[in-house]
Structure 1
């Protein structure tokens, strides 16, 4: 199983949409995909018709065993979705209390890694939707992943969030055996606005080495897909945004293959 995390230390940049879009495209290609919602807001969970305010069981359960994960627990928490090859480990709002519980507990940073080990043979890919705050949940996402995708809205404040995310990644990499490769993805791009044009220009000037050279455009079909509870490619396979995400996925898979060879 290949594990990708989608993260940024700023909300509203398209993390959940990017996670679900990539998962849907992988499922279209016949892959079995696990989606992991680590955001207490539960946007990915809500996307697929679950209520993070009322779920009795969620990924929060994984963190209630002093850093260990009982055998079979991750599998018990799986929720089916609108697509037979997409499964979900749902979030709940109670995850927001985790930071207050975590002091004094060792091993909490590896809970998701240990949980995914229980499901390793059942899925080809796992995509983790990370919260927009640095804490035990984001640490779990980064520790478990082999590739990081950083969506960045093409506007000035989002670029500041990217700076914080890159600094966080540098800190995390000091505790990893191998640096986590990452790809920056410009999102919500609107070529009609000067703000989007300027932000894209800054990204290309300052982050060229890790920047996906294209962008995800503003597309109302993404909102429509979310409302329908369907991955974007299952709602409209030929929308502008889906075509862009398909190109992004092609590059991510090529990078993955290169890293395997290396």
Structure 2
């Protein structure tokens, strides 16, 4: 039985989409069967897989669009390679779903995953939602077995994370469903900075206190944080080439091997937590 992992945050610019993409490719490289579902109307994840969203709206990739499930149409995951499939997004999700709230729309994604028996077909399913508290983020929360949170250590990002935990708690209580948070991945982390380390400890303590008082939320990582990502400049370079991070590093610039090692550490941690 596979695991559905939603990568969530409320503040943009954290590296959520890049991290989702890197994890998917790394798990696939290890021989795991992986599906990535892009539910962000910005379609950044779709772009990272080399697809123009115009071709998803009305073109050869339309049958692989997540928007189809909201229109009671067939959605066929796109076969990127032998181990990695993708469901694409496009801007029409904004007007077609995010801006047109109707009863039960937040459950459509979860029902589709269940009806298609995707957990039986894939080892890992990663969902990449928009960075807000809209219906597509709520859909991701409700469809996921686990939530993974990329985390920057700024005041706005820390406040946004607490808001996210409140939203998860509200949804969990409303549905009577336990919400499992794998943990947080510190992004742009500077281990040399005393201030960063202090913020890490403060946020960890706040989250532990919040979860301990909530009967529906749990943190799978005992000390809250998974291994950090220390810098993201190479991610931008890989995106400009529309290359997977691991391929860019291995084939174009091995000076960034330490970044690939950071991703591998997180992959190991996730594998241990979902067993």
TM-score by length of 1: 0.85
Instruction: Indicate the residue corresponding to 1:36 in structure 2.
Output: 37
- Do the aligned partners of 1:74 and 1:116 also contact (CA within 8 Å) in 2? no
Instruction: Indicate the residue corresponding to 1:115 in structure 2.
Output: 112
In the alignment, the residues of structure 1 paired with residue 99 and residue 129 of structure 2 have an alpha-carbon distance, to the nearest angstrom, of: 18
Instruction: Measure how far apart 1:100 and its partner are.
Output: 2.8
Instruction: Measure how far apart 1:136 and its partner are.
Output: 1.8
In the alignment, the residues of structure 2 paired with residue 230 and residue 84 of structure 1 have an alpha-carbon distance, to the nearest angstrom, of: 17
Instruction: Indicate the residue corresponding to 1:62 in structure 2.
Output: 69
Q: Does 1:175 align with 2:179?
A: no
In the alignment, the residues of structure 2 paired with residue 217 and residue 85 of structure 1 have an alpha-carbon distance, to the nearest angstrom, of: 28
- Do the aligned partners of 2:162 and 2:207 also contact (CA within 8 Å) in 1? no
- Do the aligned partners of 1:212 and 1:248 also contact (CA within 8 Å) in 2? no
Determine which structure has the larger helix proportion and give its number: 2
- Do the aligned partners of 1:54 and 1:92 also contact (CA within 8 Å) in 2? no
- Do the aligned partners of 1:221 and 1:239 also contact (CA within 8 Å) in 2? no
- Do the aligned partners of 1:35 and 1:87 also contact (CA within 8 Å) in 2? yes
Q: Secondary structure at the match of 1:168?
A: helix
Instruction: Measure how far apart 1:115 and its partner are.
Output: 2.1
Q: Does 1:101 align with 2:100?
A: yes
Instruction: Measure how far apart 1:168 and its partner are.
Output: 0.7
Q: Does 1:87 align with 2:79?
A: no
Please tell me the root mean square deviation across aligned C-alpha atoms, in Å: 2.2
Q: Residue deviations 1:204-250, cap 9 Å, x none?
A: 34335562253111132222222233332233266222212221221
- Do the aligned partners of 1:24 and 1:234 also contact (CA within 8 Å) in 2? no
Instruction: Measure how far apart 1:84 and its partner are.
Output: 3.3
Instruction: Indicate the residue corresponding to 1:260 in structure 2.
Output: none
Equivalent of 1:233, from 221, 230, 246? 246
Residues 255, 64 of structure 1: alpha-carbon distance in 2 compared, 3 angstrom cutoff: same
Q: Does 1:207 align with 2:204?
A: no
Instruction: Indicate the residue corresponding to 2:219 in structure 1.
Output: none
In the alignment, the residues of structure 2 paired with residue 206 and residue 100 of structure 1 have an alpha-carbon distance, to the nearest angstrom, of: 33
In the alignment, the residues of structure 2 paired with residue 50 and residue 239 of structure 1 have an alpha-carbon distance, to the nearest angstrom, of: 27
In the alignment, the residues of structure 2 paired with residue 123 and residue 133 of structure 1 have an alpha-carbon distance, to the nearest angstrom, of: 27
Gapped runs of 5+ residues in structure 1?
A: 258-262
Residues 44, 195 of structure 1: alpha-carbon distance in 2 compared, 3 angstrom cutoff: farther
Residues 192, 53 of structure 1: alpha-carbon distance in 2 compared, 3 angstrom cutoff: farther
Instruction: Measure how far apart 1:171 and its partner are.
Output: 0.8
TM-score by length of 2: 0.81
Gapped runs of 5+ residues in structure 2?
A: 209-221, 251-255
- Do the aligned partners of 2:22 and 2:263 also contact (CA within 8 Å) in 1? yes
- Do the aligned partners of 1:79 and 1:88 also contact (CA within 8 Å) in 2? yes
Instruction: Measure how far apart 1:53 and its partner are.
Output: 4.4
Q: Residue deviations 1:72-102, cap 9 Å, x none?
A: x122xx2343x43211111101111123322
